Structure 1
Amino acid sequence: MSHFKPCDRHQLYLLPPSIDEWLPENHLSRFIIEVIEQLVLTRLTSHYSGKGSEAYHPSMMLALLVYGYATGTFSSRKIERATHDSVAFRFLAANQHPDHDTIANFRKTFLLELQELFVQVLSIAQEMKLFKLGNISLDGIKIKANASKHKALSHGHIEKLEAQLREEVQFLLNKAEQTDEQESEHDFDLPAEIVRREQRLEALAAAKAKIAERVQARDQQAQKDYEEKIARREAQQKAGKKPRGREPKVPETGPCAQDQINLTDEQSRIMPSGDGFIQGYNSQAAVDIESMLIIATGLTTETNDKQRVEPMLEALSKLENQFGKADTLLADNGYFSQNNVKACAEHGITPLIALGRDTHHLPIAQRLQPDAPKPQTDDPLVMMTYQLKTQSGRELYGRRKCTVEPVFGIIKQVLGFRQFLMRGIRAVAGEWKLVAMAYNFKRMYAMATG
């Protein structure tokens, strides 16, 4: 006869059960609590007036969010449900159950305060000897917005819709004049249909105005580039040289037919991605090569990465007092420009930005040949070109791909973060900071316990 262990789901406990005993000692949630207890949360606690009913403590709410994002539970409703179903979430919430509205409101309210907390977490990592600022790898990833690309309207399509709606309004007005009030059809409310179309026309006009406002920055940059090209050609002519290329054309200003706006999240953009095109944001991250911790983040609606170097350098300069100056900035060819190379040199950071597509698997003779003599020049571009060809430069740049791209892979595959929940660039930038903080917690936990 077989012998089985008893399975009594209604077995009573002799003493009250403790959630602390149910959770393994070396658990991620315990590590998150230990780190959060060291944070200064004054900017969070000062938001509470002390009036009304008692509020959940910000440290507990922050722990729920960080653990949720670190384990792929992003929705406030799922986090609320997990405080009932998951031992780890119960432990973090101290057996309390904040509702999803409270969780969502906390996340929305304190997204801007995450910048300071993000830096505090890095300080703790430094105190734990887990990270020392050195060589930085910069890259970007396109992440979906909380909006469908099918809700996007182009400027040209808006104009076609406006023409169609105006024709329909005029038709309905004529129909209303011809129809006697006493003989009007009850199944078709002409005044309501006219009002509905006029409201749509107002919404389309507002969308066109926002598109026109958005393209002003593009027009200013195009005009600036045009003036620089003209000035360069004039300088060449004065020097007795024949300018190369065609005469620059005066840039066309104003919205074009392809300029788009999304009706759900108007600040998001349609961007190229590995799967085609997505409605999303260009999320940037600077990753420390040795620790693989995210040091700084950025967010933009531009698909081109060339404009992202200087903002990231400014973000790194704000960390110098606490962590020192970064040594080298590694980036792919999408970040290359002479101005970016010069900006790195001005910040005292050595740039290693690819000048073009890399050649993989160089011949053994080329890999082992000695470095060329160092050029005697102060030109940062010439120096960077030389360093990229040296053995040490190739070895260091080769670590770029195996540093920042795995971080993005972990965020998407392990954490499961593939779409923002917030809308609007300010809120999305805060959520991206929260994602980076959750990743750093998980990475610090792996280094501390590995």
Structure 2
Amino acid sequence: MAAKFVILDRDTPMMLPPDLRDWISEDSMVHFIVDAVEALEIKGFGINERGSGSAQYPPQMMLSLLIYCYATKRFSSREIERATYTDIAVRYICGGDLHPDHDTICAFRLKNREAFKEVFTKVLLLGVELGHLKKIGGISIDGTKIKANASKHAAVSYKRAGEMIAQLEQEIEELVRKAEDADSAPLDDGLVLPDEIKRREDRKAALERACRTMEERYEETRREKEREYAAKKAKRETERQAGKKPRGKEPQPPSETPPDDMQYNFTDEESRIMKAGNGKHYEQAYNAQAAVDTEGSMLIVGQYVTAHANDKQELPVAAASVDPAIREVDTVCADTGYFCEKAVLEVEDDDGPMVYCAVEKQSHHRTVEDLLKKAEPVPPPDDAPVKEKMAFRLKTQAGRTVYKKRKETVEPVFGIIKTILGFRGFLLRGLDKVSIEWDLITAAYNFKRLHKLCGGNLLEFTKILPQRS
């Protein structure tokens, strides 16, 4: 008896169904995104209110298109345009026969950051309404390096820039002398003296601009180091006056000029060379920050992008990125990269949230000793340094329980964004523009996560719609 197969017929013409929803499963995320965007009533769209020129695509449709495509691993405007022809869910978003081109998609993305910020906040408020996000609770913060749309080989160090400027000045002088000397040997075929002089002058101007930019960036760091130097010097002087011998080497004032290895990238000057992955290689990147709910939802409740290569100064900024209308933060968890006495005091000041920040590297492996029940540690004196108090806080049973949530919340979120959503590099350039991309990817993550929390169906969501209307 011969094997049986389902009949496959690609030749008979077939019409789309009268309702595209007949081709999309009821639990598809696209239904949730379309209905949620309509219900959120976003008001921050940049649209032509005068009605002049060509008709505009509905902004809610464009927003739903971006969020759905970002949640399904499509970030390029050209790739999104193609999806309006090939993906049935995307065609449903666009009403079946609307196909915004890549220029329109890119322009909408660039001029609607306020709308993206608004949707990020309102989808979280929707999570509160649905009972999936608590109004009071903790957050776990962390940062991840996202590759910039620039090669690290397009960068120059401060030292190398200075050397190249000196070399170009010398070459310009030689070429000028050659131009003034009528008896000088001619250049190779196709080369013209004025063009060669101008090429070097333009390159020299670009390098000088790079040096000025690096000097301006360093000045902010230098002032901070100057304050630290003055504080250390005053502390040692106080110890000497008390008859104590200060320990360690004498503090040195910061250099007046940037370090030799400070970098400037000509393709994306606001990006930085940063340690990436396991810290054994470097990439031209941005530092994307996220504050994640630790109360069970795993929603991103705060986010932003910075060009700072490390997280030492990010603790207060990350904590403040959470809108009080979304979450009253009572605890903040962070790894050792965020620990800074000044930052901890700033967050906890004026009845701020309690910070649980590691003061040294901690192994993820649990030894046999870690499994044994331990007595509560002896608290340090009231005048103990912040670092000593923090170490004690993390050794208590309550501290270990709170800090344990860090690696269970924010680290998986970055794994989902990079692996499941496939977002590993920015397409745009400049801090403002990459921040738009991070707004979109974190909003798309939250839509995807909230859809999952709703059980993959719209019943839970639709029951609140009559209350909103």
Q: What's the TM-score once normalised by structure 2's chain length?
A: 0.88
Question: For 1:417 and 1:15, how far apart are their aligned partners in 2?
Answer: 33
2:406 partner SS:
coil
2:404 paired residue among 388, 398, 409: 398
The 1:350–1:3 alpha-carbon spacing in structure 2 relative to 1, beyond 3 Å, is: closer
1:67 aligns with: 68
1:114 aligns with: 116
The 1:324–1:70 alpha-carbon spacing in structure 2 relative to 1, beyond 3 Å, is: closer
* Structure 1 residue 164 displacement after superposition: 2.5
Equivalent residues in 2 for 1:124-273 (5 A)? 124-132=126-134, 133-179=136-182, 187-273=190-276
* Structure 1 residue 393 displacement after superposition: 2.2
1:40 aligns with: 41
* Structure 1 residue 112 displacement after superposition: 4.0
1:9 aligns with: 10
1:101 paired residue among 100, 103, 111: 103
Q: For 1:213-256, what per-residue CA distance to the aligned partner results, in whole angstroms no more than 9, with x for missing partners?
A: 11111111111111111221222233333322222212111223
The 1:446–1:324 alpha-carbon spacing in structure 2 relative to 1, beyond 3 Å, is: closer
Do structure 1's residue 292 and structure 2's residue 298 form an aligned pair?
yes
Unaligned runs of 5+ in 1: none
The 1:213–1:364 alpha-carbon spacing in structure 2 relative to 1, beyond 3 Å, is: closer
2:147 touches 2:425 (CA, 8 Å); kept in 1? Answer: yes
1:361 partner SS:
coil
2:291 touches 2:319 (CA, 8 Å); kept in 1? Answer: no
How many residue pairs get aligned? The number is: 446
The 1:192–1:240 alpha-carbon spacing in structure 2 relative to 1, beyond 3 Å, is: same
The 1:35–1:376 alpha-carbon spacing in structure 2 relative to 1, beyond 3 Å, is: farther
Question: For 1:407 and 1:10, how far apart are their aligned partners in 2?
Answer: 45
Q: What's the TM-score once normalised by structure 1's chain length?
A: 0.92
2:43 touches 2:115 (CA, 8 Å); kept in 1? Answer: no
1:328 paired residue among 327, 331, 340: 331
The 1:84–1:228 alpha-carbon spacing in structure 2 relative to 1, beyond 3 Å, is: same
Do structure 1's residue 413 and structure 2's residue 423 form an aligned pair?
no
1:57 aligns with: 58
2:109 touches 2:436 (CA, 8 Å); kept in 1? Answer: no
Identity percentage of aligned residues: 41
The 1:376–1:193 alpha-carbon spacing in structure 2 relative to 1, beyond 3 Å, is: closer
Unaligned runs of 5+ in 2: 457-469
Question: For 1:362 and 1:47, how far apart are their aligned partners in 2?
Answer: 63
* Structure 1 residue 187 displacement after superposition: 2.7
1:144 touches 1:281 (CA, 8 Å); kept in 2? Answer: yes
* Structure 1 residue 5 displacement after superposition: 4.7
Q: For 1:116-151, what per-residue CA distance to the aligned partner results, in whole angstroms no more than 9, with x for missing partners?
A: 221111001111111114121111111111111000
Question: For 1:251 and 1:447, how far apart are their aligned partners in 2?
Answer: 51
Question: For 1:3 and 1:137, how far apart are their aligned partners in 2?
Answer: 55
1:83 touches 1:89 (CA, 8 Å); kept in 2? Answer: yes
Question: For 1:199 and 1:60, how far apart are their aligned partners in 2?
Answer: 46
1:144 touches 1:280 (CA, 8 Å); kept in 2? Answer: yes
Q: Which amino acid letter does the alignment assign opposite residue 334 of structure 1?
A: G
Q: Which amino acid letter does the alignment assign opposite residue 225 of structure 1?
A: E
The 1:126–1:185 alpha-carbon spacing in structure 2 relative to 1, beyond 3 Å, is: closer
2:353 aligns with: 349
* Structure 1 residue 354 displacement after superposition: 1.1
Q: For 1:17-63, what per-residue CA distance to the aligned partner results, in whole angstroms no more than 9, with x for missing partners?
A: 43221111111111111111122322205554321111011111111
Deviates more, 1:171-180 or 1:214-223: 171-180
The 1:241–1:45 alpha-carbon spacing in structure 2 relative to 1, beyond 3 Å, is: same
1:449 paired residue among 448, 452, 455: 455
1:112 touches 1:430 (CA, 8 Å); kept in 2? Answer: no
RMSD: 2.5
2:372 partner SS:
helix
Question: For 1:304 and 1:242, how far apart are their aligned partners in 2?
Answer: 33
Equivalent residues in 2 for 1:380-391 (5 A)? 384-391=390-397
2:46 touches 2:112 (CA, 8 Å); kept in 1? Answer: no
Q: Which amino acid letter does the alignment assign opposite residue 205 of structure 2?
A: E
Deviates more, 1:382-391 or 1:114-123: 382-391
Question: For 1:291 and 1:18, how far apart are their aligned partners in 2?
Answer: 34
1:282 paired residue among 280, 287, 302: 287
Question: For 2:76 and 2:370, how far apart are their aligned partners in 1?
Answer: 55
Question: For 2:353 and 2:187, how far apart are their aligned partners in 1?
Answer: 76
Q: Which amino acid letter does the alignment assign opposite residue 74 of structure 2?
A: T
2:462 aligns with: none
* Structure 1 residue 358 displacement after superposition: 2.4
2:145 touches 2:287 (CA, 8 Å); kept in 1? Answer: yes
Equivalent residues in 2 for 1:307-326 (5 A)? 307-316=313-322, 319-320=323-324, 322-326=325-329
Q: Which amino acid letter does the alignment assign opposite residue 299 of structure 1?
A: V
Question: For 2:88 and 2:59, how far apart are their aligned partners in 1?
Answer: 20
1:342 touches 1:381 (CA, 8 Å); kept in 2? Answer: no
1:21 aligns with: 22
1:136 touches 1:330 (CA, 8 Å); kept in 2? Answer: yes
* Structure 1 residue 167 displacement after superposition: 2.8
